Structure 1
Amino acid sequence: MRFSATAAQALLFPALVMMTMSSHMQAQTPQASADTIHGRDHIRLPLPPEAEKTPVVDDYFGTKITDDYRWLEDAKSPETREWLDQEIAYTDRYLKQAKVRPEIADKLDSLIHVTSWSTPIQRGDSYFFMKRLSDEEQPSIYMRHGWTPPAHPKAKETNADLGRDVRLIDPAKLSRDPNTSVSLLNVTEDGTMMVYGIRQGGADEEEIHFLTIASRKTLDDTLPAARYNSVEISPDKSGVYYARFTPHKGSLLYFHKFNTRNSEDVLLFGREFRGEPLGEMDQIGARVTDDGRYLVVIVSRGVPAKRVDIVYRDLHQPESPFNILVWGIDSRFSAMYASGDWYVRTDYQAPNGKILKAMPGGVAPEAWTTIVPEGSDVIDGSSIVGNKLFVHRLKDVKSESTVYTLAGKAIGELPYAGIGDASGMSGNSKDRYGFYSFQSLIQPPTIYRYDTQTGKQEVFAQPKTPFDTSEYELKQVFYKSKDGTHVPMFIAGRKGLKIDGSERLLMTGYGGFNSSETPAWSPLWAAWMEQGGWFALPNLRGGGEYGENWHKQAMFEKKQNVFDDFFAAGEYLIANKYTSPMHFALSGRSNGGLLMGASITQRPDLFGAIWCGFPLLDMLRYQKFLIGRLWTSEYGSAENEKGFDYIRKYSPYQNVKPGTPYPAIMFFTGDSDTRVDPLHARKMAALMQNLQQPGQPDSGAKARPILLHYSLKSGHSAGVSAAQLIDDYADQLSFLWTETGSK
C-alpha cells in the first residue's frame, strides 16, 4: 500500500483514529490535527491521503530530475486503485459539505435538461439529426421527411411520417448504461443508408454501425471500437471507406466490403505515398465528393497540422492511382469540390487564409486562380452550398460570413444578432438549402435553414432554455500582455453586477493548437452567471483567432506567451475591479488544463480557486502516453535538449514549490479519458497534497483544499449522460463558488 495508513483511516474512521492517536496528536504541532484543511463557508477536511514517495531519477542531458510518484502512472496497479479510492472518498467528503451544491445542481438541471438538436444533414426531402428530449439522458438519431407537417390532413395519409421526427437509433435501447451514447456520422447521398457510432462514456473510441433507412435494420457488418478519422459509405453502397488511427502506429485508410470479414478489408492508402513514409504523426482522413465521383484523401501532418496534403481517386476507375491536388507544401489546405472544379482554402503565403480555384495534377498553388484574397480578418471556415461559396471569418473573434459566387463576387452576408459565434454553413454543394447555428455566451444556440436562392432563413430548431438573455450583458475589451501584445477578452454577467472588486469571477482559457475560443453558449458558464458571478474569456495567443501568426506566437519555446496573456487578463480584471484575487476562479481542461497548471505554479497569488480538468501537467513525459506523441508538433519534446530546456521551465509538475500558499485546487479526470492520460492529474494531486502533510513547509491551519475528483465514467470526449454532466458540473461550480467566497 503506497499511501499513509493514518490519512486513509482518518477518512473512513475519523473518530476512532482520534481516540487511538490522541496522545500522539497532542505531541504534534497544530498542523497535524484532523481539521487542518480549511475550505471556505466553514468546510473542514482532515489531511489528504498521503502517497508514498518512491523516487525515480531521470537524466536529461546531464540534468537529474526526480519523480517521486512515477508509480502512479500505472492506473491498474492495486496500489494506485487503493489510493484512488481514498481520493474519491476525500473529495466526496468536501462536496457533501458544499452548501451551495443543491442550488447550483438545480440551475444546471434546468439548463441542460432541455430538448436540443444538432445541425441536420439534408438528403433530398429528408433531414437527419440528433435530438435529446428534455427528460432524456442521451440524444437519439432522428429523421424527418419534409420540412413541416403538411397543411392538408389528407396529405399525410400517404406517408404517416411526413413532417414528423422519427427516432431511428435510441441509445437507451442499446445499453442499460446511461453513459452509452450514439453519434450520427454520415448519410448516403440518396438517403437510404446511415453510418452511426456507439461510444462508452467519454472515451474517444467508438464502434461503427450501418443502418438501412427503409427497413430500419442495422447491418451485421460492424467496425470495432477504435479512433476513426472518417467513415463513408461508397456511392454504390457496396461497402465503406474508413480511416482508423492506432496510437504509436498511425492512420490507415481501408475499404470494407459489406458481408465480408473485417480481416479481408483492403488497404487503400497509408504507410507511404510515392516513396514518402507516412507515420504516427500523419493523420489520414477521407471523404467522397457530393457527386460520388472522387474519393478525396487528406493527410494532416501533426496536431494541429503544419502541412496538409490532398490526393484523390476517380471512383469511376477504382483501380486507378491517386492523383495529387497538393503535396509537399508546408501549409494547410482544405478542399471543396463543386460542378467539376476544385476550390481550396489555405494559409499558403496567407496567414489569415484565402480561397483559390485549384488545378490538380501537382500544379503549384502560385498558378491557381485567387477567388477570395487574404484580408485583415482570418478566414475560419468555408463551404460550397447551392453552388455558392460561404466564407466564415473572425473579426476580432466575432463571427462574420460572406456569400460569394464561385467566381469570387461578394453577393451578400449572413445576418447575425450582435456578438456571438456562428457555425459555418453546412450542406450539399448542389442543394438549395444550407444550415448554420448562432449562439453567444448569453444566448442559447438556434439552428437556421438558409435558402441559397432567396437568402431567406427559417428556424429549424431553438431550445426553450430557461435563460433570459435580456437580463445579461456581453462585451469585449482589449488589454496588454506582458510584452505589449493587445489581446481581446469577452466579459459577460448579469446586468447590474457590482464593479468594485467584491464579485466572484470565473475565467477560462485555452491558447493552443490553432483553436479559436469563440463566445459560444455553455450551460456551465450560464449557471455561473445565474448564480451571480462574472465570466471572462480571453483569446490567448496559440489559438487561431488571428490566423497562423497568432498561433505561432505561442508554440514550442514561445509557450510562455500563453501564460503571460492569461495572467495579464487576470491583472486587467482585478485592476478594473471586476473581482479580486480572493474571489477569482479559474477553469480549464486539456491544453487548458496545462494553462491551469501554469497558473497554479506561476501565479498562485492571483487566483482564489482553480479547477484543472483532464490536464497535461508532467510535460517532460506527456509524449510517452496514449496519443501524446501527436502533440509534439505543438509543444516539442523533452527528448531533445532544446525542448527539455524550455519545457522544464514551465512544466507544472516540475515547478511545484514547498512553502507556497497555493489556492484551492480541484483536479478532475477519470478512467474514460483515453486522450490525455489521467496520470498527470494523479501525480500532480499526490505531489501537492504531500505539501500539506505534517512537517511540510506548506502545511498548517491556512492550507486550502487540494482535491482529486476522479470519475469512473467521464472522459475527454462527449458521450456521458445528462445526469452525469450535471453532477460533474455541479461539483465543479460548487467548489469554485465556495472557494471564492469571503470566508
Structure 2
Amino acid sequence: MLAGIAMHITAGAAYAQSAEGGGEPLHYPRTVRENTTDNYFGTVVADPYRWLENDTTGRIPQWIAAQEKLTNNYLEQIPYRGEMQEYLSATWNYAKETQPVKAGACYFFTRNNGVQNQAVWYLKEGPEGKEIELLNPNRLSASGTTAATVLGFSGNGRYLAFAVAESGSDWNTIQVMDLTTRQLLKDSLRWVKFPRAAWKGDGFYYSRYPAAEQHAALSAGNTLNQVYYHRIGDAQSQDSLIFEDRRNPRLSVAAFVTEDERFLILSVLPGSFLGFKLTTSTGNALYYQDLHQQGSSIMPLVEGYNHHNIIVDNVGEKLLLQTDRGALNNRVVLIDPRHPEEKNWTSLIPERPESLDNIDLGGGYLWAFYLKNASTLVRQYDYQGRMIREVPLPAIGVASSFSAGREDKEIYYSFTNFTTPVTIYRYNISSGKSSLYRKPAFTGSTEGYVTKQVFVTSKDGTRVPMFIVHKAGIKPDGNRPVFMQGHGGFKRNLTPFFSVARMMFLERGGIYAQPNLRGGNEYGEAWHKGGMLENKQHVFDDFTAATQYLIREGYTNPSKIAVTGVSTGAIMVAACINQHPELFKVAVPVVGAMDMLRYHKFTIGSTWAEEYGTSDNPEQFAYLIKYSPLHNIKAGTHYPATLILTADHDDTVVPAHSFKYAATLQEKQGGDNPVLIRIDRNSGHGPGKPTTKQIAEAADVWSFVFQQLQMQWVR
C-alpha cells in the first residue's frame, strides 16, 4: 500500500551516547515518516511508521540492516561482552533432563547434554533402564532452529504425535512416529498453531487454520480455527471436519479426549466476535461428545465466555470440571453432561483461600496445584474429593508435572526456584515421600543466597507481593544494581524460576526483584480481572509501586534499576517508562505488542481482545489510547537506555510492533541514553529457541545492563 515511495536511511542528527570504551557518538538511522492517520470515533491518530508493518516491502530489509549495524556496533564496544558470552556458555553447559513419563511399557524423557540447541528424546525400559535415542531434533536443521514438541502418546502406547516448528514460527507441522519401529510415518498435518493431539483409537483430533498465503503467513490474521480427526496413515486431505463456526470465525478451539477415550471435549475461546461488544468476557465455553454413543453429536456443556472451565477427567458417564464459576479461586465439580445446568452440579473440591491453578492425574488420584503467595502448594485428592495429604516439597518454589498412569505407584515431578536448577524427584504415592531422582550438575554457585517475599502497597491500596533475591550479607545502601521483571496479564503466573544468566548477575552483587502484578492468576480470577481491559493501568501502578518500594527501603536508586518483561510484560515495561521515565535506568522490553490500537489486525491478535479490548470499540479505545506504548512517547523526554528485543519470525507478536516502537522512541528520545533494537534472525516469540541463540541474546542483554548500571565485570 506504500509501494513506490522511496526510503532513505541516513545518519540522523540525534546524538544518543558514546559507547563505553570511547567509541564514536551514537547516531540513529533516520526512518522515513509518512502522513498516515486513522480516525477513531473523532480522534485522529497519526501512524507515520505504518509502512514498517508491511513485511513484504523491499524497504524494510534496508531499515533492519541499518538498525542491526547500529546495535551490533554499540554492543561490540562493550569490552567484556565476548568474555561474558564465554562465561555463560561454560555455566550453561550442564545436563538438563525432564521427568520420565510412562509411555506404554517404557518411560519417555528428554535431555539436553548442556549446550545442545534442542533437547534429545529418549525411551527406556523402567526408570533406570537402558536409554534408547528416539529423536534428535538437532538433526532436523543445520542451524538448530527447528524445534519439536511432544503432543502425546496413543492409548496403546504405539504411536507418538509431535509437532515441528521452524525458526520460531507459531506454524507447526504435526508428525507421527511408530514407537515399535522408531520410524517416522508419512503423516504430515500443516497449518497448525499451538498444536495438540487428542488421541482416540488409531488417530487423534487436532485444530488447524485454512491454508495461508505463503507471502503473508507470518503476519496475516488467522481466523476460522477448525477441529479435524486424523486417522494414522491417511493424507491430511482425508481428515474429517469435526467442528467449525463460520458465523464466528475468530473463535479458537482446542480438542481434548478423556483418559479412557470416552469423551471428546472442545474448549472454545471467543477472541472477538463480529458485532459482539466485549466488556468483561474472559473465559471459555465447553462442548462435549460421548464417543461411546454411536451417532452422538457435539453438544454444549458449559455455555458463555465469562468463566474459565477445564475438564479434568471423567468418572464413568460424568465429568470433572475445574471452574471459576461461583468460585474466583476455582473449584472442582461433577457434571452429568445429559443435565449440564449449574443447578445440577455436585461439588467435589470446594474453593480454597489459595488459587487453584491446575490439576494433574496419576496413580488414580487428583493432584491439585494451588498458588500460595505465588509459590506451589500441591494437595492430593481421591476421585470422591477427599483430601489425602498436602505434598511436602523440597523448598518454597514451583513443582510441576505430577502426571502418571492410573495404575502407577510412583510419580516423577520437577522442582525449581530462583536459586535451584530444575531438579527431578520421585514421589511414592502410598507413603507420600519424595526422593531425589536427578540433580543437575550446574557448576555455578547456588549457595549463600537469600530469597524473601515482601508486600508493597499499590496506588489504589492493593497489597502486591514481590520476591527479592540477593547474596546473603548484602546490606541495602541505596546504590545496589537491581534487575526487575514483571508480567501482568492473561492469567499467567510469574512464579520463581531458575536462570543461568540471572545467577551471573546475583553472583556479582546484583539484586533481583519479581513483583506479582495484577492480571496474573496468583490470587485467582479477581486478581486477573484487576489487571485486564479497563483495569490495565493497575498493572503499571503495581510495578511502579514495587520500584518505589525498592528505592524507599534503601536497596537502590533510579540510576541503578533495570527492568524487563516478555510479551504482555513488555507492554508493561514500555508503559511504565512512558509514565515514569525518571524511575528507571535501563529497559529491556521483549517481543511486546507496542501498538495497542492495531494489535488485533495481525495473526492471532484478535484472540487477545477479551484481555485487552480493541480500538474498534469506542469505550475500549478510550483506555487503550491512554497507555498504548507507541502512542504515549513524548518528544524531548529523557527515556531510559532501552534495548528492544524482537525476532523476524515472531508470528505471535509480529516484529512490526517493535519496529514502529523503536523508530518512534529513537525519534523522540530527549536524553543521552541509547535506544537500540535487537532483531533475532530465524527466531520467533521464544519457545523452541536454540541454546546458542539463548546464550548470545543473554550476553547482549546482560552486557548492556552491566554497562548501563556501571557494574564491574569480573570473570
Give the secondary-structure state (helix, strand or coil) at the position aligned to 1:382: strand
**In the alignment, which of 306, 310, 322 is matched to residue 334 of structure 1?**
310
In 1, Cα distance between equivalents of 2:478 and 2:80: 22
2:276 counterpart residue number: none
Give the secondary-structure state (helix, strand or coil) at the position aligned to 2:582: coil
AA aligned to 2:27 is: L
1:741 counterpart residue number: 710
Q: Does 1:244 align with 2:218?
A: no
Q: For the structure 1 residues 178 and 318, does the alpha-carbon distance in structure 2 shift closer, same or farther, using more than 3 Å as the test?
A: farther
AA aligned to 2:59 is: E
1:386 counterpart residue number: 363
How far apart are residue 225 of structure 1 and its match?
Answer: 4.8
How far apart are residue 472 of structure 1 and its match?
Answer: 1.2
- Mapped contact 1:141–1:184 kept (Cα < 8 A): no
- Mapped contact 1:240–1:257 kept (Cα < 8 A): yes
* Pairing 1:663-742 to 2, within 5 Å after superposition: 663-691=640-668, 698=670, 703-741=672-710
How far apart are residue 229 of structure 1 and its match?
Answer: 3.9
User: How does the TM-score come out when normalised to structure 2?
Assistant: 0.92
Q: Does 1:96 align with 2:76?
A: yes
2:603 counterpart residue number: 626
Q: For the structure 1 residues 371 and 233, does the alpha-carbon distance in structure 2 shift closer, same or farther, using more than 3 Å as the test?
A: closer
Tell me, which stretches of 5 or more residues in structure 2 are unaligned? 211-220, 273-279
The percent identity for this pair of structures is 34
Q: For the structure 1 residues 299 and 742, does the alpha-carbon distance in structure 2 shift closer, same or farther, using more than 3 Å as the test?
A: closer
Q: For the structure 1 residues 430 and 45, does the alpha-carbon distance in structure 2 shift closer, same or farther, using more than 3 Å as the test?
A: farther
1:132 counterpart residue number: 112
- Mapped contact 1:288–1:294 kept (Cα < 8 A): yes
- Mapped contact 2:116–2:138 kept (Cα < 8 A): no
- Mapped contact 1:45–1:93 kept (Cα < 8 A): no
1:478 counterpart residue number: 455
**In the alignment, which of 467, 485, 489 is matched to residue 490 of structure 1?**
467
How far apart are residue 674 of structure 1 and its match?
Answer: 0.8
In 1, Cα distance between equivalents of 2:298 and 2:410: 32
2:282 counterpart residue number: 306
Give the secondary-structure state (helix, strand or coil) at the position aligned to 1:128: strand
Q: Does 1:265 align with 2:239?
A: yes
1:292 counterpart residue number: 261
Cα-Cα RMSD: 2.2
Q: For the structure 1 residues 403 and 612, does the alpha-carbon distance in structure 2 shift closer, same or farther, using more than 3 Å as the test?
A: same
Give the paired residue count.
690
Q: For the structure 1 residues 547 and 70, does the alpha-carbon distance in structure 2 shift closer, same or farther, using more than 3 Å as the test?
A: same
1:660 counterpart residue number: 637
* Pairing 1:289-438 to 2, within 5 Å after superposition: 289-302=258-271, 306-317=282-293, 319-328=295-304, 330-340=306-316, 341-438=318-415
In 2, Cα distance between equivalents of 1:139 and 1:497: 37
**In the alignment, which of 239, 249, 254 is matched to residue 279 of structure 1?**
249
Q: Does 1:534 align with 2:511?
A: yes
Tell me, which stretches of 5 or more residues in structure 1 are unaligned? 9-30, 149-162, 693-697
Q: For the structure 1 residues 305 and 180, does the alpha-carbon distance in structure 2 shift closer, same or farther, using more than 3 Å as the test?
A: farther
Which is greater in Rg? 1
- Mapped contact 1:482–1:564 kept (Cα < 8 A): yes
- Mapped contact 2:650–2:684 kept (Cα < 8 A): yes
1:24 counterpart residue number: none
AA aligned to 1:569 is: A
The C-alpha deviation readout for 1:98-119, integer Å capped at 9, x for no partner, is 1232343234223432211223
- Mapped contact 2:115–2:692 kept (Cα < 8 A): no
In 1, Cα distance between equivalents of 2:191 and 2:442: 34
1:605 counterpart residue number: 582
How far apart are residue 230 of structure 1 and its match?
Answer: 1.6
Q: For the structure 1 residues 368 and 233, does the alpha-carbon distance in structure 2 shift closer, same or farther, using more than 3 Å as the test?
A: closer
How far apart are residue 5 of structure 1 and its match?
Answer: 4.8
In 2, Cα distance between equivalents of 1:5 and 1:542: 40
Q: For the structure 1 residues 386 and 324, does the alpha-carbon distance in structure 2 shift closer, same or farther, using more than 3 Å as the test?
A: farther
In 2, Cα distance between equivalents of 1:572 and 1:103: 34
AA aligned to 2:484 is: M
In 2, Cα distance between equivalents of 1:735 and 1:36: 15
In 2, Cα distance between equivalents of 1:315 and 1:531: 59
2:525 counterpart residue number: 548
2:53 counterpart residue number: 73
How far apart are residue 451 of structure 1 and its match?
Answer: 2.7
How far apart are residue 48 of structure 1 and its match?
Answer: 0.9
Give the secondary-structure state (helix, strand or coil) at the position aligned to 1:470: coil
Give the secondary-structure state (helix, strand or coil) at the position aligned to 2:253: strand
In 2, Cα distance between equivalents of 1:465 and 1:571: 34
Give the secondary-structure state (helix, strand or coil) at the position aligned to 1:731: helix
How far apart are residue 259 of structure 1 and its match?
Answer: 3.1
1:184 counterpart residue number: 150
Q: For the structure 1 residues 460 and 315, does the alpha-carbon distance in structure 2 shift closer, same or farther, using more than 3 Å as the test?
A: farther
In 1, Cα distance between equivalents of 2:405 and 2:300: 24
In 2, Cα distance between equivalents of 1:642 and 1:395: 35
AA aligned to 1:249 is: T
- Mapped contact 1:232–1:240 kept (Cα < 8 A): yes
Q: For the structure 1 residues 42 and 580, does the alpha-carbon distance in structure 2 shift closer, same or farther, using more than 3 Å as the test?
A: farther
How far apart are residue 528 of structure 1 and its match?
Answer: 2.3
The C-alpha deviation readout for 1:362-381, integer Å capped at 9, x for no partner, is 43233222121112111111
- Mapped contact 1:327–1:362 kept (Cα < 8 A): no
* Pairing 1:448-463 to 2, within 5 Å after superposition: 448-463=425-440
2:121 counterpart residue number: 141
Residues 410-419 or 452-461, more deviating: 452-461
How far apart are residue 294 of structure 1 and its match?
Answer: 2.6
Q: For the structure 1 residues 178 and 306, does the alpha-carbon distance in structure 2 shift closer, same or farther, using more than 3 Å as the test?
A: same
In 2, Cα distance between equivalents of 1:628 and 1:353: 27
User: How does the TM-score come out when normalised to structure 1?
Assistant: 0.89
Residues 447-456 or 534-543, more deviating: 447-456
Q: For the structure 1 residues 446 and 58, does the alpha-carbon distance in structure 2 shift closer, same or farther, using more than 3 Å as the test?
A: same
AA aligned to 1:332 is: H
